[in-house]
């Protein structure tokens, strides 16, 4: 363990006054036990030396010295020696990110196999999957820009929509990076953590170049650019894989202005990289995002120092063992216990980090609160145990939700909402109801969350998803009912009795997902057309991130 002496200091220096009695105690004891000092007033010095028996000038280690050292160690430990900083235990340690993916026609060029867009879509999913526990959102752009998925911790939400993305979804072609930046910034504008916006595209719109540079320089977020394409360019392919041709039958090709892209990135101050066949580009994005988050946190947060006084427990215990020697027993037990208490009181970070995984539960209560223990389990993926440990209802509900215990999570969030009218509790009520199959109830819960926090993009997106599931529900029920209704009519005609009421069984979750997986492209196309037709109404225009202490992840 290295100690940075330049940063060494004490968190509670007033406790160092405890060193004074530790120093005075041996001196007072020595003076009180000095035989010569006691008899010097009554016996002449020349006679006193001959009357004393034994060598009284020889001093040996006594129990009082052990007690003095214990007091000194306890005082130093209580003063809180420290030399290294740590992150707060409940701070966000994952950088939020929004990926802005280009859907202009040239992204169908095949110079980056299979096409620029297909490679870019794969990278979007790779980025989301590599960011475990971090929020990742998706924006697409061409001649206009649109939100696809608000920042979410769940890669499955992106996996639902990314495969359906195609250049034809945005009706107006173009490379308006400035519009994508506007949407992405609105998504991250209310997030407390420093965010990153990653552009994946093959060029830019020359007419809006200067506007984009100005916006990029003024942005509070970190901007990155993964360029998709090669200097040779390539043939543009259709959705079926054939080469696209113009009206005269000439194959359509797409170029790649590498010099122009480098110049724009340099002028705007945007780090630039290229899409690669391996995962180095994903690692580059992740490293940049986390470095930027760490730098911003360091610049804006107050330093928090690691408590290191607990190391003094070891010498204190050794000295206590020595004190049990015959003739050495120290009778000032309260002082010893007090020293131990001082030396064994780590801060919240140490208590959480040293918590055992499955045993020592009663013992660890003395060193960490139930919520600290719950957070320790939560960060290590043991959500069921974390839920049992948490006392804070919000964290308890989140742990139950992460453990897929949706019934208990719904009960916890419902009770929290009743007590506090918390918009985040309402949001998670909707998520829990959605997983339990109550899509109508989920819509109502999300609407309550929107009422408490207008413009919440995650709640808006989940309402749209729930309505889409309800439509799939209706279509499936109709498909089940139509054959039965036809048979009922035939039976009536044949005189087989009155029509029987047919109660169709609720489809399984797999049926719902199969019905939904056929419609993401159509759903996105319709939504993009509506947003383009009413540009004044944008789902992220009024703020898109979760409120303070809010939900992490939009997908239910």
pLDDT at 347: 43
Query: Is residue 141 within 8 Å of residue 103, measured between CB atoms?
Result: yes
Q: pLDDT tens digit string along 245-282?
A: 988 889 999 999 999 999 999 999 999 999 998 999 99
Per-residue burial over 206-218, b if 16 or more Cβ lie within 10 Å, else e, is eebbeebbebbee
Residues 65 and 125 in one domain: no
Determine which helix (DSSP H) or strand (DSSP E) holds 151, and give its type and residue range: strand 145-152
Which of 277, 228, 222, 232 minimizes the C-alpha distance to 253? 232
In a domain, residue 72? The reply is yes
Residues 164 and 275 in one domain: yes
In a domain, residue 413? The reply is no
**Rounded distance between C-alpha atoms, residue 180 and residue 500, angstroms:** 56
In a domain, residue 154? The reply is yes
Which of 550, 556, 494, 532 minimizes the C-alpha distance to 179? 532
Region of residue 360 (left: phi > 0; alpha: psi -120 to 50; beta: else): left
Q: Is 1 helix (H, G, I), strand (E, B) or coil?
A: coil
199 DSSP β-pair partners: 100, 225
By residue count, the chain amounts to: 556
Residues 173 and 42 in one domain: no
**Rounded distance between C-alpha atoms, residue 6 and residue 13, angstroms:** 17
Region of residue 547 (left: phi > 0; alpha: psi -120 to 50; beta: else): beta
Residues 219 and 333 in one domain: no
Residues 114 and 243 in one domain: yes
**Domain boundary residue among 300, 317, 333?**
300
In a domain, residue 395? The reply is no
Query: Is residue 298 within 8 Å of residue 139, measured between CB atoms?
Result: no
In a domain, residue 250? The reply is yes
Residues 181 and 275 in one domain: yes
In a domain, residue 359? The reply is no
CA–CA distances in Å: residue 87 to residues 145, 259, 301: 37, 41, 10
**Rounded distance between C-alpha atoms, residue 194 and residue 554, angstroms:** 19
**Domain boundary residue among 242, 276, 300?**
300
Residues 60 and 197 in one domain: no
Query: Is residue 267 within 8 Å of residue 223, measured between CB atoms?
Result: no
**What would the two tokens of residue 426 be?**
């309402």
Q: What is the pTM of this model?
A: 0.54
- CB neighbours (10 Å) of residue 320? 17
**Domain boundary residue among 300, 324, 357?**
300
Residues 428 and 538 in one domain: yes
85 DSSP β-pair partners: 305
In a domain, residue 383? The reply is no
Residues 106 and 151 in one domain: yes
Residues 182 and 118 in one domain: yes
CA–CA distances in Å: residue 246 to residues 18, 112, 239, 241, 421: 88, 22, 15, 16, 59
- CB neighbours (10 Å) of residue 30? 14
Residues 187 and 84 in one domain: no
**What would the two tokens of residue 153 be?**
């911790």
Query: Is residue 376 within 8 Å of residue 353, measured between CB atoms?
Result: yes
Which of 262, 221, 228 minimizes the C-alpha distance to 137? 221
| CATH number where 272 lies | 3.40.50.410
For the chain, list residues with pLDDT below 50.
89-91, 332, 343-362, 488-518, 536-554
Q: Count up the domains in the chain and report the number.
A: 3
Residues 125 and 69 in one domain: no
**Rounded distance between C-alpha atoms, residue 137 and residue 555, angstroms:** 11
Domain containing 437 equals 422-556
Q: DSSP alpha helices (H): ranges in 333-379?
A: 333-343, 348-353, 361-364, 370-379
């Amino acid at each position: 363990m290295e100690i940075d002496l330049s940063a060494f200091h004490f968190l509670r220096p007033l406790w160092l006054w405890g060193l004074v009695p530790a120093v005075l105690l041996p001196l007072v004891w020595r003076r009180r036990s000095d035989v010569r000092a006691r008899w010097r007033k009554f016996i002449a010095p020349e006679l006193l030396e001959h009357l004393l028996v034994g060598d009284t000038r020889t001093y040996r280690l006594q129990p009082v010295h052990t007690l003095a050292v214990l007091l000194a160690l306890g005082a130093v430990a209580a003063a809180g020696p420290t030399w290294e900083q740590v992150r707060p235990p409940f701070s966000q340690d994952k950088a939020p990110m929004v990926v802005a993916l280009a859907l202009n026609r040239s992204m169908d060029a095949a110079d980056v196999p299979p096409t620029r867009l297909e490679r870019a879509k794969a990278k979007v999913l790779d980025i989301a999957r590599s960011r475990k526990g971090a929020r990742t959102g998706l924006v697409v752009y061409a001649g206009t820009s649109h939100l696809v998925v608000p920042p979410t911790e769940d890669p499955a939400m992106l996996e639902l929509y990314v495969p359906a993305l195609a250049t034809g979804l945005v009706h107006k072609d173009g490379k308006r990076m400035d519009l994508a930046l506007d949407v992405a910034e609105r998504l991250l504008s209310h997030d407390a953590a420093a965010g990153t916006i990653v552009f994946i595209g093959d060029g830019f719109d020359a007419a809006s170049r200067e506007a984009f540079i100005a916006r990029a320089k003024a942005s509070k977020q970190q901007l990155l650019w993964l360029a998709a394409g090669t200097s040779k360019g390539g043939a543009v392919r259709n959705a079926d894989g054939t080469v696209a041709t113009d009206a005269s039958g000439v194959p359509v090709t797409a170029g790649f202005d590498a010099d122009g892209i480098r110049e724009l990135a340099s002028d705007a101050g945007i780090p630039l990289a290229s899409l690669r066949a391996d995962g180095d580009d994903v690692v580059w994005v992740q490293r940049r995002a986390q470095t930027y988050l760490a730098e911003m946190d360091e610049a804006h947060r107050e330093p928090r120092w690691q408590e290191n006084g607990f190391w003094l427990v070891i010498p204190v215990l050794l000295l206590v063992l020595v004190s049990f020697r015959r003739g050495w027993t120290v009778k000032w037990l309260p002082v010893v216990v007090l020293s131990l208490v001082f030396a064994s009181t780590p801060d919240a970070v140490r208590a959480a980090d040293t918590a055992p995984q499955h045993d020592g539960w009663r013992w660890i209560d003395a060193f960490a609160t139930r919520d600290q223990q719950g957070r320790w389990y939560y960060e290590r993926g043991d959500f069921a145990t974390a839920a049992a440990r948490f006392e804070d209802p919000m964290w308890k509900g989140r742990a139950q939700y992460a453990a897929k215990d949706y019934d208990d999570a719904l009960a916890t969030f419902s009770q929290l909402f009743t007590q506090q009218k918390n918009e985040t509790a309402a949001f998670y009520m909707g998520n829990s109801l959605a997983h339990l199959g109550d899509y109508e109830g989920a819509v109502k819960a999300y609407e309550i969350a929107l009422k408490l926090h207008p413009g919440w993009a995650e709640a808006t997106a989940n309402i749209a998803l729930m309505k889409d599931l309800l439509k799939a529900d209706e279509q499936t029920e109709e498909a089940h009912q139509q054959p039965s209704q036809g048979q009922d009519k035939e039976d009536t005609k044949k005189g087989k009795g009155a029509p029987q009421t047919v109660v169709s069984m609720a489809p399984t979750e797999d049926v719902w997902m199969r019905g939904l997986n056929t419609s993401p492209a159509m759903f996105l196309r319709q939504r993009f057309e509506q947003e383009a037709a009413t540009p004044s109404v944008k789902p992220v225009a009024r703020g898109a991130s979760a409120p303070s202490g809010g939900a992490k992840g939009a997908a239910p």
